[in-house]
């Protein structure tokens, strides 16, 4: 599917909570390089910094549950 979208020049969104530089820690270095090479050719890399909204919402829910008790 990725190859088909690449050939057709169609959009594909790939997300990760790991920075690109760390992919070699989680995958074999050769495999990580190969995957990233193909994914990043003709791509735009967006990196976001800051706290996760999911963690922020979970903390808010936890605080509300604690105050309700």
- Per-residue pLDDT of the chain (69 residues), as tens digits, is 778 888 898 998 988 888 888 988 988 889 889 888 888 888 888 888 887 888 888 889 989 888 876
CA distance 10 to 16: 20
The total domain count for the chain is: 1
State residue 53's pLDDT score.
81
Range of the domain at 55: 2-68
**What are the residues whose beta carbons fall under 8 Å from the beta carbon of 37, sequence distance 6 or more?**
none
Q: Return the closest-CA partner of residue 18 out of 7, 26, 10.
A: 26
State residue 69's pLDDT score.
66
């Amino acid at each position: 599917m990725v190859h088909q979208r690449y050939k057709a020049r169609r959009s594909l969104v790939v997300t990760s909570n790991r920075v690109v530089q760390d992919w070699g820690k989680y995958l074999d270095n050769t495999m990580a390089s190969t995957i990233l090479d193909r994914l990043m050719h003709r791509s735009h890399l967006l990196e976001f910094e800051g706290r996760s909204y999911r963690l922020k919402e979970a903390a808010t829910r936890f605080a509300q549950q604690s105050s309700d008790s």
